Amino acid sequence: MPKRFMGIRLLLVFVGINLAMILTLVTSLTSTHPWLARVLPGHFDSGSDFSGYWVFFALVLLVDALTVFIAGLALMLPAMLEGTPVDERRLTRHLVDRAGMSEEAKEAIFVALREEAVNAHYQVFVGRAILFADALFLMGAFFSVVLTFARAAPDGHMFLKPGVAVAMTEKGVPCSTHGLPVRNKDVRGREIAAYTVDQVLAAVALNAPAIYGVRFAPVVKNAGTPVFTHFVFAFRTLLGFTLVLLIISFLRRPQRPKREKKTIESVEAKLEETKS
């Protein structure tokens, strides 16, 4: 029952956040001058250009991805921090011939710990599935935010064309290079998709692709845009943290007990058989 209540609470939080975002959009649409235009780039007036609203919808996806990430943590971390449940065979050795304890008390302890192990295993399994799905969701949200911001600010320079020579040696070899700013409207969607893949690989492989010169996108981030730089850094950090949590969940996952129901008498009998 507590697990059901936890799932309901997380669902209510998710619905509440989306409801707040929808109300924000409605208030902007019904106002004489859309106030979202003061905080977001793009056009919000009536017409054929709705780039500002596309930015807003991309941010909604990003907020939803962060909400799902928090939900996965809320399910998985408590079960992982509680530690591994006591092994059944070891527990039985401690309870056998324990004076002052009735068989009913021993059995109650045994069954309670088994139920705790099952619940912990279930929480870690569900939390891991949520975090894995959220990692894919977060990648899509990152691509959507970058693409919509680039379209909403077509004259901005979020990207650079790397490797433009600025000086040459006597033998015609470039001695220094830098990036050439590219206007946002000249960056195609597939280039932003390739850039998203580069950031995912950098987060998963600890920036190894950049160290070895592996890059899929023909553009790189413009360090002169601090907001975009902070956003990329936050995306890499969150995705890398999610990967670490998934790895730890496999290493420290509680073992699920076998399906057949054991009793303390059956385990005692099995121990006697092994001794004989």
Across residues 51-68, what is the average pLDDT? 92
Question: How much is the pLDDT for 2?
Answer: 53
| pLDDT score of 91 more than 80 | no
The CA-CA-CA angle for residues 223, 154, 44, to 5°, reads 120
Q: Helix 103-152 crosses helix 189-204 at what angle (to 10 degrees)?
A: 140
- Enter the DSSP assignment of 272: H
**CA distance linking residue 158 with residue 229, whole number of Å:** 9
Residue that wins the pLDDT comparison between 268 and 209: 209
- Kindly tell me the number of DSSP H helices and DSSP E strands found in the chain: 8, 3
- Spatial contact of 238 and 135, defined as CB atoms under 8 Å apart: no
**CA distance linking residue 49 with residue 47, whole number of Å:** 6
The CA-CA-CA angle for residues 40, 44, 48, to 5°, reads 130
| pLDDT score of 26 more than 80 | yes
Residues 6 or more apart whose Cβ sits within 8 Å of residue 3: 119, 122, 123
Question: How much is the pLDDT for 202?
Answer: 93
Question: How much is the pLDDT for 103?
Answer: 65
Residues 6 or more apart whose Cβ sits within 8 Å of residue 73: 127, 131, 245
| 144 band by pLDDT with thresholds 50, 70 and 90 | very high
Q: Mean pLDDT lowest for which of 112-121, 182-191, 215-224? A: 112-121
**Percent of the chain scoring above 70 in pLDDT:** 72
3-state helix, strand, coil in the chain (%, to 5): 65, 10, 25
Question: How much is the pLDDT for 276?
Answer: 60
Continuous segment of H or E residues that includes residue 110: helix 103-152
Residues in the chain: 276
What's CA 60's distance to the chain center, in Å? 15
- The strand ranges marked E within the chain are 159-168, 174-182, 220-221
Of the candidates 148, 116, 21, 129, which has an alpha carbon nearest to the alpha carbon of residue 71? 129
